Amino acid sequence: MTNIRPRDNLTMTATPKVTANGDTPITTRLDFLKVRDLIAPGSRVLDVGCSDGELLTLLAATRDVDGRGIELSQAGVNQAVARGLAVIQGDADSDLDHYPDDAFDYVVLSQTLQATRNPRRVIENMLRIGHHAIVSFPNFGHWRIRLQVLFRGRMPRTENLPYEWYDTPNIHFCTIRDFVDLSRQVEAVIEKAEALSLSGKPVNVEAPWWFWNLFGEQAVFLLRRR
């Protein structure tokens, strides 16, 4: 199995830091705070591709969730378990098939969709396993990426997508409009969506999809089954 941990490369930070007791920082990731705000307190949550468990730690401290995680990297699993989290090693592309229907209130896939081999199957499993699915991803339709391809004629690199084309773990880039189309194909209801800048600031909430697709560097979607 390929060791895919795309979350670790994000630089987006939040101020102030969220802490568990006023002293110890839990996270500086603004996208995690956006995900946190979508989850009801006391929920059952599965974090797919949970890396070292940073998001689960945040949710346990601020939402009192019953959290579980699945992570491909053994190093990530070890770090998450050291935090006292219930995390197992597994592959989102194959191991989600074994989870029962409606086992969780929320299934989260944060900044990992583009690294999966079969994104549609992963989303379908998330909607089957959970009452809701929360998906965040970098937007390949952002204007900076378009300009790099247009004027440089090379695969783009940004702070959100820092790899060279030959060593990237990301194998299925998508845009916000692509994801909206995929949501319709799997018959998911988009309950809430937000396009964000790299710093985590929302793009104009009332803007149409094409505007989000052009100016949003990343997006967060809350989905449910019809």
The answer to whether residue 82 sits within a structural domain is: yes
In a domain, 7, yes or no: no
Cβ atoms 176, 139 nearer than 8 A: yes
Domain assignment present for residue 69? The answer is: yes
CA-to-CA dists, residue 45 to 126, 182, 198, angstroms: 11, 23, 26
Say if 46 falls within a structural domain.
yes
pLDDT at 205: 66
Token reading at 27: 């996270």
What Cα–Cα distance (Å) separates residue 216 from each residue in 109, 131, 152, 221? 18, 27, 21, 13
The H-assigned helical ranges of 48-169 are: 54-63, 74-82, 92-95, 119-129, 143-147
Q: Mind listing the pLDDT tens digit for each residue in 82-130?
A: 999 999 999 999 999 999 999 999 999 999 998 899 999 999 999 999 9
β strands within 141-187, DSSP E:
none
Cis ω for the linkage preceding 16 (within 30 of 0): yes
Whether 38 maps to a domain, the answer reads: yes
Residue range 144-167, pLDDT digits in tens: 888 888 887 877 777 767 777 677
CATH number of the domain bearing residue 111 = 3.40.50.150
φ and ψ of 208, to 5 deg: -75, 170
Indicate whether 217 pLDDT > 80: yes
Between residues 220 and 197, the one the model is more confident about: 220
Contact status, residue 76 vs residue 88, Cβ threshold 8 Å: no
Residue 49: inside a domain, yes or no?
yes
Q: What are phi and psi of 6, to 5 degrees?
A: -60, -25
Counted domains in the chain: 1
Structure pTM?
0.83
pLDDT tier for residue 213 given thresholds of 50, 70 and 90: confident
Alpha-carbon distance of 127 to 132, in angstroms, equals: 6
Q: For residue 41, is it within any domain?
A: yes
Among 185, 44, 207, residue whose Cα is nearest residue 193: 207
What is the mean pLDDT of the segment spanning 11-30?
53
pLDDT at 109: 97
Residue 85: name the closest of 99, 103, 67 by CA. 67
At 33-74, the pLDDT tens digits run 999 999 999 999 999 999 999 999 999 999 999 999 999 999
Instruction: Supply the pLDDT for residue 2.
Output: 34
Q: Which of 6, 18, 26 is nearest to 110 (CA)?
A: 6
Domain that residue 86 falls in: 17-225
pLDDT value of residue 215? 87
9 domain residue, yes or no:
no
Whether residue 183 is predicted with pLDDT greater than 50 in this model: the reply is: yes
